[in-house]
Structure 1
Amino acid sequence: MRVLIAEDHALLRDGLTRLLRDHGHEVVAAVETAEEIVRRGTALEPDLALLDVRLPPTQTDEGVRAALELRARRPEQPVLVLSQYVERTYAAELLADGRGGIGYLLKDRVAEPGEFVRACERVAGGGTALDPEVVAQLVVRRRAGSGADDPLATLTPREQEVLRLMAEGRSNRGIAEALVVTDGAVEKHVTSILGKLDLPASSGDHRRVLAVLALLRADGDG
């Protein structure tokens, strides 16, 4: 996996670089500004762009703007954004284009190296990796604004739990372990979710991404 990093804090930038290299991945460049990551990302076409939400010069939303610009220039570009706090609006903006290859994690997750690298790999492969805290806040808002005609309202409480864990990027086995149920039970729930959401026939992984986006993308609508 070829990774491009944008992080203005030197210690974290170096730490991310070492972490990814220690797990066998190539860091093609590590830059400090949004302008640099857009320029280098366009030229290098990395497998993953890993960005801080807040970058110079204003330390507000430059990282999100850069991620969106990269996706506009290269729609298949996977991006994973790191944030110090849950910022719901930014997560919803990243999800709004309806495609996979999106991650939004709190920086605390970097302290769990194996899990963090697996999240990077999922996003690079076209999946999602959304922080549990991000998912929880988006789901609460989504539920408050949903109407009777919302297909998500047809999901059972257990199916909603499964869908939230799918949003975090967990596999069926990971979901089964979290809920203490069998793999077969999870497979049945996932099949039911995909059917209730009336998702178009496609590869299993792509349909899972679409299901996650059905849950989260609508946050920007309410």
Structure 2
Amino acid sequence: MRVLIAEDLTLLRDGLTRMLTAYGFDVVAAVDDGADLARTLVEVRPDVAVVDVRLPPSFTDEGLRATIAARREVPGLPVLILSQYVERVYAAELLSDRSGSVGYLLKDRVGQVKDFADAVRRVADGGTVMDPEVVAQLLGGGRQRDRLAALTPRERDVLAVMAEGRSNSAIAARLVVTEKAVSKHINNIFAKLALPPSDDDHRRVLAVLTYLNEGA
């Protein structure tokens, strides 16, 4: 699996390269600023990119902007964003094209090596992966509460864990319920959010996007 890394801190960039290589990824490019990232994403078209939000020269949102621009040229290009802080607007803007294959993790999660490598794979496979802290803050958003008011507390719990990119079995383990109960809750979520019939994976992404976009 071909990976591009965008990180301006040499130590973290090299650490990510060594870590992902150890887990079987092929790091095909590593860049340290927004201009290089925008060009290299389109030229290399990696299976997944791991991108810091804040890159030179201004250290504001170059990584995000380059990612969004590249996904316009290469729709659905898988990207996992890393950030030092929870930035709700970043999550919503990245998800606005509704094509999936995106993730948003706090940099603290990189230290959980196996979980991080799994998150990279899920994004590369078309999944949506959100940091639990981002999910928790979005859950507190007033607009999100209004839009998702029809969901029961347990259905909101299920949707929050789904937003982390977890499977039904993982959701069941986290919430200490059966997979059958999780499946029932997810079907209720689909119905209450008026998501159109389609394959379950697509509707899971739409449900997560509804949840996240309303929270921003």
Q: TM-score range by the shorter chain?
A: over 0.9
Distance 1:196 1:87 in 2: 27
Structure 1 gaps of 5+ residues are: none
Equivalences for residues 54-93 of structure 1 within 5 A = 54-93=54-93
Structure 2 match to 1:36: 36
Whether the aligned pair in 2 keeps the contact of 1:4 and 1:30 (CA below 8 Å) is yes
CA RMSD of aligned residues (A): 1.3
Structure 2 match to 1:145: 143
Structure 2 match to 1:157: 153
* TM-score where L is the length of structure 2: 0.96
CA displacement at 1:87 relative to structure 2: 1.2
Q: Deviations over 1:67-101 (max 9, x none)?
A: 11111111110111101111111112112222211
Structure 1 match to 2:10: 10
Distance 1:91 1:100 in 2: 12
Aligned to 2:30, the other structure's residue is in SS state strand
CA displacement at 1:201 relative to structure 2: 2.0
Structure 2 gaps of 5+ residues are: none
Aligned length: 216
Quick check: 1:208 aligned with 2:204?
yes
Distance 1:146 1:16 in 2: 34
Please tell me the residue identity of whatever aligns with 1:145: R
CA displacement at 1:218 relative to structure 2: 2.4
Quick check: 1:174 aligned with 2:167?
no
Equivalences for residues 111-126 of structure 1 within 5 A = 111-126=111-126
Distance 2:211 2:76 in 1: 21
Distance 2:8 2:145 in 1: 42
CA displacement at 1:169 relative to structure 2: 0.8
* TM-score where L is the length of structure 1: 0.93
Aligned to 1:153, the other structure's residue is in SS state coil
CA displacement at 1:146 relative to structure 2: 5.0
